Amino acid sequence: MFDLIIKGGTLPDGRSTDIGIKADKITAIEDLSTAEARETIDASGDLVSPPFVDPHFHMDATLSYGTPRINASGTLLEGIGLWGELKEVMTQDEVKARALEYCDWAASLGLLAIRSHVDTCDDRLLGVEALLDVRETVKDYIDLQLVAFPQDGLYRDPTAHENTLRALDMGVDVVGGIPHFERTMADGARSVTALCELAAERGLMVDLHCDETDDPHSRHIETLAYETQRLGLQGRVAGSHLTSMHSMDNYYVSKLLPLMAEAEVAAIPNPLINITLQGRHDTYPKRRGLTRVKEMQAMGIDVGWGQDCVMDPWYSMGTGDMLDVAFMGLHVAQMTSPEEMHRCFDMVTNVNARILGLQDYGLRVGATASLVVLDAGNPIEALRLRPDRLCVVAKGRVISRQSRNDARLNLPGRPDSVRRRHSAHS
């Protein structure tokens, strides 16, 4: 007797099968047509995927768009200034309310694991306290991993170092940083070394905002990979953004990528934000500002798409849908072959789970029973349609349902409803 059976869905690899769930675990992936269950969900012909995973978000800033004003220039630097103004007026209850509203959106979209940076440049550590509370509140349906992020610079802000240590002592999971925002390249490199040493001492992972600039000479990723190797942190370190690599000299990149691969440093581009914030100082031609995704993947480097922002000082758009993120990434990185489109879907599920170090993730016997049923036939169609999530299961429990939302046509001689599904790919 199963608690829940998902019947007849199509897995991302194309297999059509049933999934049996007991308590919070997947206990069978096979034909279960004669098995009994307390609850059965018919997913025949629909895509059944492991949950979406976001490796880069700012939950302390989300849904604050317009408070206290909007970002007029659209640049990263004005966004950081604006966030500083918001920090002056925000309260812990207000941060929690915004974060929990976002988590509702995420749950309804099947986004069940999120790595969020949390600003530690605040002597009150108000955002840290709020998000630690939110992490506990949502733990039955969303795995929230927090990164101690000295937004104003580890050395540039006089109390950032001390406050970052305090945040880690309070239970924040991952060491963050922003070397390209320090006052000098030397200070940036010094911050990378200090943060990696801190992670090594405490046995933590590292995820730095790294080289989020169009300046081809911003090369902190080199120091990050070097320190990762020196300190034995392989497989525990990620560089977020890496947009400067878009503009770097090709010879230099040919030397950099093998170092990243040896150090097993992962990359987290955030295509919605990178295409919006980068290139703002260019006339024409205007750079895309996305890092070298396919080139890194060809070297065996893990690259996962991140969301970064939804309606905050840096970005006025966003829904929390990782399929929007992958859709933009697919376009900007020109990942248009069938194999590359499949890879884009993998980047917002399995690759991101690996970057976060999630144990028990995936559609396999013994894994945590978390999954999402999409109104699409396969991963490529899911990217094209970014469709309704018909059902979301988190740790064995159905947490969200949505009815199929076909349009009703009123056209003589044509069908009376339309779904826009069309399986050209598998």
Which of these, 85, 116, 75, 71, lies nearest to 98 by C-alpha position?
Answer: 116
Q: Is 382 exposed, middle or buried (0-12, 13-18, 19+ CB in 10 A)?
A: buried
**60 or 302: CB nearest Zn ion:** 60
Beta bridge partners of residue 266, listed in sequence order? 238
**61 or 233: CB nearest Zn ion:** 61
Beta bridge partners of residue 373, listed in sequence order? 48, 391
**46 or 308: CB nearest Zn ion:** 308
- Residue of 94, 101, 212, 381 with catalytic role: 212
Q: For 103-165, give the DSSP string.
A: HHHHHHHTEEEEEEEEE---TT-HHHHHHHHHHHHTTTT-EEEEEEE-TT-TTTSTTHHHHHH
What length is written for the chain? 426
Q: How many CB atoms lie within 10 A of CB 22?
A: 15
Closest residue to Zn ion in the complex (CB): 308
Show contacts with Zn ion in window 234-253 (CB under 5 A): none
DSSP 398: E
Beta bridge partners of residue 314, listed in sequence order? none
Task: State whether the Cα torsion 401-41-347-418 is positive or negative.
Answer: negative
264 noted as active-site residue: no
**143 or 308: CB nearest Zn ion:** 308
**8 or 269: CB nearest Zn ion:** 269
**210 or 394: CB nearest Zn ion:** 210
Query: Are the beta carbons of 248 and 263 closer than 8 angstroms?
Result: no
**Residues binding Zn ion: what is the number (CB under 5 A)?**
1
**308 or 321: CB nearest Zn ion:** 308
Element (H, E) at 12: none
Show contacts with Zn ion in window 287-326 (CB under 5 A): 308
Task: Establish whether the linkage from the previous residue to 285 is cis, with ω within 30° of 0.
Answer: yes
Q: Map residue 20 onto helix, strand or coil.
A: strand
Which of these, 27, 20, 19, 23, lies nearest to 49 by C-alpha position?
Answer: 19
Which of these, 422, 368, 406, 278, lies nearest to 50 by C-alpha position?
Answer: 368
Least CB distance to Zn ion at residue 58 (A): 6
- List strand residue ranges (DSSP E) for 176-312, in order: 205-210, 237-241, 266-268
Task: State whether the Cα torsion 205-193-295-386 is positive or negative.
Answer: positive
| Catalytic positions | 212
Positions that interact with Zn ion (CB under 5 A): 308
